Amino acid sequence: MLAGGLHVLFCGINPGLMSGATGHHFARPGNRFWPVLHASGFTPRRLLPAEQGELPAYGLGITNVAARTTARADELDDEELREGGRILREKVRRYEPRWLAVVGVTAYRVAFGDRHAKVGPQERTIGGTRVWVLPNPSGLNAHWTLRTMAEEFGRLREAAGVADARHRGDS
């Protein structure tokens, strides 16, 4: 990733078992991150987790709040999330994306000490980087549908000034 070259740095909570085993973000087959990323217009086609290396070509990056692999994100303790938030702020200062998009409001609340945060743009900035909280795309987060998640991701895409990649014609 080139400093200043990222439109959006997506940040998951931590690697699940499949992600830990493969080294690919959001690797569990039922996770909706990759379908939502495409449906919202960030990518011209649905990428596979193994294609995460293509994200910088679209001005996107990906990381996690916490590094420890768990079966469920709720296995992390608050201290791990707070420490992960501190490390994440350092990454953001180093790479200077336009937007940090934290995928999971509960983890964001703990990692950033903002217990009233809601999905959407936040008042907080990290240097010149704006912050947006997105819904967790895990299949366990059933009250957010693929459509409603894509709409929220699309709001971020538009705020970040990223053209709809589905209309670029490349695949």
Angstrom distances, CA of residue 102 to CA of 21, 49, 61, 114, 141: 22, 18, 12, 13, 15
User: Which of 14, 31, 64, 136 is an active site residue?
Assistant: 14
CA 155 to chain centre: 14
CA distances from 79 to 83, 102, 111, 129 (A): 6, 18, 8, 24
Is 25 noted as a catalytic residue in this protein?
yes
CA distance 80 to 73: 11
Catalytic residue among 7, 24, 25, 38: 25
Catalytic residue check, 143: no
Catalytic residues: 14, 25
